[in-house]
Amino acid sequence: MVRILLYTGKGGVGKTSVSAATGIELAKRGLKTLVISTDPAHSLRDAFKKSIGSEPVEVGKNLFLQEISVTEAIKKYWDNLKLYLTALMRSQGVDGIAAEEIATMPGFDEATELLYIREYAKDNRFDVVVMDTAPTGESLKLLSFPEAFSWYMERIFPISRKTAKIMRPLMKPFLGVPIPDDKVFGSIEELYSQMREVKEILSDPETTTIRLVCNPDRMSFNETKRAFTYLLMYGYNVDSVIVNKIYADDTGDFLKKWRESQTEVLEEIETAFADLKIMKIPMSANEPTGQKLLEEMGKKLYEDADPMSVMSSIIPPVQFISDGDHKMVKIRIPFADKKNTQLHNRGGELVVQIDNWRRVFFLPQSMSDLNPVNAEFNKGFLNIEMS
């Protein structure tokens, strides 16, 4: 079984360095390891001081690197569907270049990265895939895409392949728009199936682990809490928080106030994430670039811990509870604010929105015709009573 370790956090906290150091540590332990960058502003090559391409490149024993090319990936996975959408836009009078831009559906870029993960999870080329992701907001878009794609496809392409085959010659002269052909439907069906697989891979806590990287400052801490909440809402397992760039006690009077502030934030991190493993990395005297310095960083980070392990107890982020007439949906969202949380049932779908992030939960059959009648926060969980 391939293990997937995904590192995310606020921009500038050191995700790339932590991902790179993790990859080196795993390779040293004899595991065939791929470190893959999904950040559009790739910096993996800078961390390793190596030339990296859009396909895995071996840079050491058991260690491979890859920086995804979105252009190549879209062509590889989405070509037929994009060609159809471009033709559809052109049929409505949109000029060529604009049609191609509009045809790039929301999330195309994110999905290409996910399909690489699916590929590596299935072909067992590597023992472990370490993902260096974009900053938090982009990572959340990436991880929320599989469900969004399914919703989008079911509503944009509700017509079946068989129906389209019958209707295409009859309706085309009247509609003035291209009706999807078999290649397009084949692409849609394949992508739909692949996205379901991706969701299963990323949601399996034994396969995929997400780790939050932050710095011991107030802004980073607050964003980490929000990221943790949103990731749990989408059903993903987070097992640890890595606190990077901690000032040592001997850094002198000039940084005294900074150290005091960091100490205060570190205590709050320990309390807020008490059920996760907290790992700490001191501020390095040198920028951690090049394999030697990254290897030193990996030693400090993991010490006796195994990077492959699930580092904290797995608490199901979402539970559907049915006990006789008592029906409840239980969602683990520890730092959500009740006044910024909205929910309703829309035709068998429970819609939960926190701030700007929304997830559609497909309710089990026993709850599909029920509505949320009461909701309360209790010990980090949102308990939604359905009736």
Residue bearing the bigger pLDDT, 148 or 324: 324
As a three-state string, the secondary structure of 283-339 is CCCCCCCCHHHHHHHHHHHHCCCCCCCCCCCCCCCEEEEEECCEEEEEEECCCCCHH
Nearest CA to 289 out of 58, 21, 62, 42 is that of: 21
Nearest CA to 64 out of 136, 140, 116, 99 is that of: 116
Specify the pLDDT at position 175: 45
Buried (b) or exposed (e) across 311-336, using 16+ Cβ within 10 A? Answer: bbeeeebbeeeeeeeebbbebbbbbb
* C-alpha 275: how far from chain center: 21
Nearest CA to 5 out of 341, 363, 301 is that of: 301
Predicted TM-score of the model (pTM): 0.85
Is residue 164's pLDDT more than 50? Answer: no
Specify the pLDDT at position 279: 97
Average the pLDDT over 2-25 and give the result.
95
Pairwise CA distance, residues 65 & 291, whole Å: 12
Name the region of 379 (left: φ>0; alpha: ψ -120 to 50; beta: rest): left
Is residue 63's pLDDT more than 70? Answer: yes
Specify the pLDDT at position 169: 47
- What token pair was written down for 130? 């370490």
- Distance between start and end Cα atoms, the chain: 41
Specify the pLDDT at position 156: 56
Least confident range from 138-142, 309-313, 318-322, 339-343: namely 138-142
The string of pLDDT tens digits covering residues 16-46 is 999 999 999 999 999 999 999 987 777 899 9
Specify the pLDDT at position 99: 44
- pLDDT band at residue 93, thresholds of 50, 70 and 90? low
Amino acid at 386: M
Is residue 74's pLDDT more than 80? Answer: no
Specify the pLDDT at position 296: 95
The string of pLDDT tens digits covering residues 346-379 is 777 788 989 888 888 888 888 888 888 888 999 8
What is the number of other CB atoms lying within 10 angstroms of the CB of residue 207?
Answer: 16
Is residue 152's pLDDT more than 90? Answer: no
The C-alpha angle 102, 104, 105, rounded to 5 degrees, equals 95
Confirm if 149 and 157 have CB atoms less than 8 A apart.
Answer: no
Specify the pLDDT at position 212: 98
The string of pLDDT tens digits covering residues 328-349 is 999 999 999 888 898 887 777 7
Strands (E), the chain: 3-9, 33-37, 57-60, 63-67, 128-132, 208-214, 238-246, 277-282, 318-323, 326-332, 341-345, 349-354, 357-362, 372-378, 381-386
Amino acid at 171: M
For each of the domains in the chain, give its residue range(s) and CATH number, in order of start: 1-314 (3.40.50.300), 318-386 (2.60.40.790)
- Phi and psi torsions of 262, nearest 5°: -65, -40
- pLDDT band at residue 15, thresholds of 50, 70 and 90? very high
Is residue 181's pLDDT more than 80? Answer: no
Is residue 167's pLDDT more than 60? Answer: no
Is residue 170's pLDDT more than 70? Answer: no
Element (H, E) at 110: helix 108-123
Confirm if 245 and 287 have CB atoms less than 8 A apart.
Answer: no
Confirm if 34 and 129 have CB atoms less than 8 A apart.
Answer: yes
Confirm if 17 and 26 have CB atoms less than 8 A apart.
Answer: no
